[in-house]
Chain A
Amino acid sequence: MLTIPTLNAVPPRDARERVVLVLGNPNVGKTTLINALAGTNMTVGNWSGVTVEKREAKVYFAGKAIHLTDLPGAYSLSPNTPEELITRTALLEAAPDLILNVLDAGNLERNLYLTLQALEFGLPMVIALNLMDEAADKGMTVNAAALSQAIGIPVIPMVASSGRGVKDLLRFMAEPPAPTQTRPTYPLALESAAHQLEAAAQAFEKLLPHTRRYVALNLLEGDASLRSKLTITGHGALVAQSDGLTQALASTNLEPLLELAEVRYSEANRIARLAIPSFEHRRTLTERIDRWALHPYLGIPLFLLSMLLVFRLTFSVGAPFVNFIGGPLQETLSGWAAALLQPLPSVFGALVNGALIPGVGTVLAFVPTLLILYLAMSFLEDSGYMARAAFLMDRTMRSVGLDGKAFIPMILGFGCNVPAVYATRTLENPKARLITTMILPFMSCSARLPVYVIFSAALFGSAGSTVVWAMYVLGTSVALLFAAVLSTRIKGVQDIPGVLELPPYRLPSASVMWKHGVNRTRSFVRRAGTTIATTVAVVWLTLSIPVSTGQGFATVAPRDSLFGEISSALAPVFAPAGFDTWQATGALIPAFVAKEVAISTLGQIYLGEQASSPAPLTALEGLTRLGNGLLEALRGAGASLLEVFAPPSLNADPSSERGNPLTAALSKAFSPAAGLAYLVFVLLYTPCIATVGAIANEQGRRIAWITVGYQLLTAWLLAVLTFQIFRHLL
């Protein structure tokens, strides 16, 4: 609690003494200035609120003893903080001989608000225009003479920290100038209310004459701390009168607080402009970065390039871990599981080693990859760059009948399509909402990334990350293309152009990035434990049921299982796309549940058989294998950090293809062109169940079915096109 001092009468003062109150915003160098003048050693610091209490220093000049009172920094005399309260109280308690108002020359407009309020006291005042050096660094030339003329009081430019200009103040302290007549003028009704209160204040002798106008204005403004102070010091009548006046003003729609603020802020703006006519606008960092980031021609290429770097980083640093988890870790776990499950019926071994470990494990192998991707994306988002991406896309989006705002759900779709569908609610226009929802599933969500990564590693070597990136670009392009088509087909009002606000750039804090990255990765892991594990079990079941008689449950060859039969029947559909094997087709079916299931299913099919009867491992053997594998992964990740900036080459480098068992199997099963076509199909075909559900929820079942249908068709057509083009090129 703050004790509120009573308003004392002025103590009689020696004619050879001068009292100077040093007033100013926080951190403008008030204490530094006093130290420079009086040779004192009071604490200063480069943050606000260093001085928190009244402090005094004494200096002698021209036969006068000058008492300098250092006040805590204040932005205004309508106190918000305890420090501002102390400063205001000092001004009310006694009339100083001089108010020394210290201003930050580089931040004139804001500082002048306090100056204008202080002028209401009608006391002698001088401005110390401090921090001239910093203002010059900001590219400002502050004209002290113009400032002095505008306000009508002396202005001394200075650099308190080096003592420059400081001594010029002394003569004004010894002989204060006459008070200025310049004061802000307020609307007539407000002025007359203030005059009435000032007149009424004369009856209260404890209210010093210099404070009357200030008190009147602040009462009208509704200054709570002043009201309570006056009420408990026996000025209740004055407060009551001001309430009456405020109500009368309010009935004419005049809010004193707003009127006073309006006049003071526009005066501050006007005077600042007078004093800094040639405000040579030095570019801020944000503006300098934006000159490139928002460049009309280079902006989008730069965005694509930065995304390419993100994928290269993700791909090359994540790959060694994918190999480690998919290789040594899975083998070790299988070995241990085999040892543990030996006493149980063989069907358990088959489920764990033939399905769960290769299936779920293959998906979990991407945890490090996704973590790196999410960290990188979080960097781009938190730094403010992603907002620029949406801004850049504004023009492109408009050309397809949407606006930049619709790009926001699309960026969100890179993470997961489901929240992206719900995010379309932020679009006001129903037509824009419908179109955006329908094209969203083309945006490549993170569940598709494992599929790209493993195929790219198997088939495209060092160009892998470029292939992954190309998938994202393709998805976005197809989405935009359909937006253009749909916006001519769907009737509805054109959107009112939405305005995108650009936050300033800032360096994201590592801990925040880490938190975001881990949170998103965690939901991927959770899915692997629930949705993926369940799907894997169901796939295993269908892979274990024999179709023809004579073969037993779980011993049937995968090709002859229920799963194999259905897949084989469907496979010819994909012949023109080059991946008409039953394995490839089969993996696409359960992937409707979640797209990473394509990988877990391929893992089950290709690795299940060989993995279902692993040699049992002892704990020690397993640990050695794990240790070696991890070491190799870390070494690989470190080395690949350097590769991020190396130019990509399309020739697969066989030496770098140590890979894991699944990549080895895939490189045998797919030709590069067929693999690419497969990726295109996985990217574009039917959104996952959860997304379809979200679309049905937002736009109805009809739209959901239409979306499923047209995406399936698009995916097939483009996969065929890809294969036909690239079979000759790759």
Chain B
Amino acid sequence: MTRIQTVLNALSTQPKTASELMAALGSSEAAVLGILETLERGGYVQQAVPPAAAGCGHCNLKSLCRVADADPQELKLHLYRLTTRGAAQLLVTT
């Protein structure tokens, strides 16, 4: 599997952060972030919605929940998920 496929594949189950993808790619966190940003630019992945917008409120689960795993003060989650384009790309290549 290519590196891009590995990323798309890993994100197909649930949103992940760069640090969670490190092991699968054997890359540094910063390098993974670079890949994710490139994929984001191409519209293949997007950042998950901040918890405030997702309505998680003060849910007990937020530290476990992949969608809400972020500082609510911060606008971006650094948690990436596949877009429909990304999912379609994954289908094409596998």
Decide: B28 and A265 in contact? CB cutoff 8 A. no
A350 to B42, CA, bound (A): 71
Complex: how many Å from CA A269 to CA B4?
13
- Chain A interface residue count, CB cutoff 8 Å, equals 47
Contact A75 B2 (CB under 8 A): no
| Contact in complex: A503, B69 (CB < 8 Å) | yes
Say whether, besides A80-B41, A109-B31, A261-B38, A516 and B20 are in contact (CB < 8 Å): no
A268 to B69, CA, bound (A): 29
Could you tell me the distance between the alpha carbons of A509 and B71 in the complex, rounded to whole angstroms? 9
- How many A-B residue pairs lie within 8 Å, measured between CB atoms? 106
**Chain B interface SS verdict (over half):** helix
B89 interface neighbour in A255, A268, A415, A509, Cβ under 8 Å: A255
Taking a contact as CB atoms under 8 Å apart, the answer to whether B63 and A382 are in contact is: yes
A107-B28, A107-B30, A268-B31 as given contacts; A386 in contact with B58, CB under 8 Å: no
Residues of B close to A519: CB separation below 8 A: 57-58
Q: Nearest residue in B to A405 (C-beta to C-beta)?
A: B64
Enumerate chain A residues within 8 angstroms of B25, measured Cβ to Cβ.
269
Please name all residues of chain B whose beta carbon is closer than 8 Å to the beta carbon of A377 when the two chains form the complex: 60
B87 is an interface residue with CB less than 8 A from chain A: no
Check A390 for interface membership: any CB of B closer than 8 A: yes
For A387, the closest partner residue in chain B by CB is B64
- Known A113-B34, A257-B42, A261-B4: A504·B57 in contact at CB below 8 Å: no
Indicate whether B53 reaches chain A with its CB closer than 8 angstroms: no
Assess the A75–B37 pair: CB atoms within 8 A: yes
Question: Is the Cβ of B27 less than 8 Å from the Cβ of A75?
Answer: no
Contacts of B93 in A (CB 8 A): 253
Of A78, A109, A261, most buried by chain B (CB within 10 Å of CB) is: A261
- Interface status of A205 (Cβ within 8 A of chain B): no
Give the CA-CA distance A121 to B35 in the complex, in Å. 22
Q: How far is the CA of A29 from the CA of B89 in the complex (A)?
A: 38
Question: Within the assembled complex, what's the spacing in Å between the Cα atoms of A387 and B27?
Answer: 24
Query: Taking the nearest CB of chain A, how far is it from the CB of B62, in angstroms?
Result: 7
Contact check, A266 vs B2: say whether CB atoms are below 8 A apart: yes
Contacts of A222 in B (CB 8 A): 42
Find out whether the CB atom of A412 lies under 8 angstroms from the CB atom of B60: yes
Whether B34 pairs with A75 at a CB distance below 8 angstroms is yes
Asked if B58 and A520 sit within 8 Å, CB to CB, the answer is: yes
Pull 28 A–B residue pairs with CB atoms less than 8 Å apart, ordered by A.
A76-B34, A78-B38, A80-B37, A80-B41, A109-B30, A109-B31, A110-B34, A113-B34, A222-B42, A253-B92, A255-B89, A258-B4, A258-B89, A265-B4, A266-B2, A269-B26, A381-B64, A382-B63, A386-B64, A387-B64, A408-B61, A411-B61, A412-B61, A414-B60, A501-B14, A501-B20, A503-B69, A519-B58
Smallest CB-CB A-B distances: 5 pairs: A109-B31, A519-B58, A110-B30, A381-B63, A257-B42
Residues of B within 8 A of A (CB): 2-4, 13-14, 16-17, 19-20, 25-28, 30-31, 33-35, 37-39, 41-42, 44, 57-64, 66, 69, 71-73, 89, 92-93
Contacts beyond the supplied A262-B2, A499-B13, A512-B73: 13 A-B pairs with Cβ under 8 Å = A76-B34, A110-B28, A257-B41, A265-B4, A269-B3, A269-B26, A387-B63, A412-B60, A501-B14, A501-B16, A509-B71, A512-B72, A520-B58
